[in-house]
Amino acid sequence: MSSTAIVGAQWGDEGKGKIVDWLSAQADLIVRFQGGHNAGHTLVIDGVTYKLSLLPSGVVRPGKVSIIGNGVVVDPWALKDEMARLAEAGVTITPESLQISESASLILPIHRDLDGAREGAATSGAIGTTKRGIGPAYEDKVGRRAIRMYDLTDEATLRTRLPALVAYHNGLRAGFGLPEIDENHLLQALLDIAPHMIPYLAPVWRTLHTARQQNKRILFEGAQGAMLDVDHGTYPYVTSSNTVAGQAAAGSGSGPGDVGQVLGLVKAYTTRVGEGPFPTELQDDTGQRLGERGHEFGTVTGRQRRCGWLDAVMVRQAVQTGGITGLVLTKLDVLDGFETLKICTGYELDGETLDYLPARADLQARVKPVYETLPGWSDSTHGIRDWAKLPAAAQAYVLRIEVLTGAPVAIVSTSPEREDVIVRGPIFS
């Protein structure tokens, strides 16, 4: 058995799309195990750009099996639209190429309503969600009120499950001045979407078990990043699921020993979308330069990302909490032409130096980065695929990251093109 989990080691947007696509070409099964359609991956294959939000990246490659695991919350209408867009781009999706866990919970229109109402009502301390209903859907899942995929297969079950869910949400909606839910309309919407989802439903845990017995290569594809993890991230400015590699097992129906190599995606600098603390953020010309050179706009939201120097303290914490065995360093070429570079090696807080990010949000907001300065390089790294051809200063930068984070850099990405990578370590194990 050979498997790899790939997860973000910062605040998401680390360039997973290209790397997951590159890895999926070598895998047999690609599994999404958490999150929803608030995640975004951009793939460029043979000059064609594909933007995915919910579907695993392997879905655009013939001969691969893509799986949406039980840890994902699924908006069936958004999934239907995404599949239709891919069909227009020439991608054929069948029940043989896509399986959806029958246990996955649904995102309903009432979840989107609640998400938007909460975010709009927050006069201060807004989380900065995508307003797509992800959080409220997870709330109903753990509250045991959720509609799950297998409920779509039986109208009688839906009629039994909906009243309690509707009653709960009507109480919340009253506080926001939203109209009561039309239960019959919601039921009909579910009955209408059901035929589009049912053919893809499967006990995906069995599919994965069989694949392991057949020594298939499995790629577990994470969304967002470690610092958005609901337990280990910059709470409350986090997503509503566990984003660390441990969730790959629980979110797919696999055992923890079935997740082998864990690769953590890290940009050569740091970005963040939305609200929340960001110790190394640069609100100056350098930050603007990083954003412009890196084309830092969210795939899903289109929002401009905040930019700053690489935070090695945060990445080291992600390595330790997420069991990361190797790093994938992306966007190295964005740093071409900088005379000097900085890496955060610690934080200063009330006269003390910390080597970790505190759990309390107010302390996270107050820490000041302690920087180490390294020389930059003037030569271009764009498109380089050979380690020996990197400028010496670029090599030194990568090696310093290894020392500061405690994890080897297994892959270096030097452009958006999928083949422009330098492989320095094992990929599947």
Kindly list the distances between the CA atom of residue 77 and the CA atoms of 82, 84, 222, in Å, as whole numbers in the listed order: 9, 11, 22
Q: Which of 13, 75, 258, 420 is catalytic?
A: 13
Q: What is the pLDDT at residue 387?
A: 97
Q: What are phi and psi for residue 124, nearest 5 degrees?
A: -150, 155
Catalytic site residue 13?
yes
H helix runs in 64-133, sequence order = 76-88, 109-121
**Model confidence at 282, in pLDDT bands (50, 70, 90)?**
very high
Name the nearest CA neighbour of 343 among 317, 373, 300.
373
H or E stretch at 140: helix 134-142
Pull the structure tokens for residue 331. 């966007």
Q: What is the pLDDT at residue 16?
A: 85
Question: Could you report the per-residue pLDDT of 11-34, keeping only the tens digit for each?
Answer: 988 988 888 888 988 999 999 999
Pull the structure tokens for residue 166. 């509707």
CA distance 218 to 196: 26
Q: What is the pLDDT at residue 324?
A: 96
Q: Are 287 and 306 in contact (CB under 8 A)?
A: yes
Q: What is the pLDDT at residue 20?
A: 87
Q: What is the pLDDT at residue 286?
A: 95
Percent of the chain with pLDDT over 70: 96
**Model confidence at 300, in pLDDT bands (50, 70, 90)?**
low
Q: Which of 21, 28, 37, 41 is catalytic?
A: 41
**Model confidence at 342, in pLDDT bands (50, 70, 90)?**
very high
Count the Cβ atoms, other than its own, within 10 Å of residue 317. 19
Question: Could you report the per-residue pLDDT of 166-197, keeping only the tens digit for each?
Answer: 999 999 999 999 999 999 999 999 999 999 99
Q: What is the pLDDT at residue 128?
A: 61
Q: What is the pLDDT at residue 121?
A: 76
More confident residue, 74 or 429: 74
**Model confidence at 281, in pLDDT bands (50, 70, 90)?**
very high
Pull the structure tokens for residue 65. 């099996």
Q: What is the pLDDT at residue 61?
A: 87
By DSSP bridging, strand 409-413 and strand 421-423 are antiparallel
Q: Which H, E and C letters describe 300-334, residue by residue?
A: CCCCECEEECEEHHHHHHHHHHHCCCEEEEECHHH
Q: Which of 7-21, 201-215, 340-354 has the lowest mean pLDDT?
A: 7-21
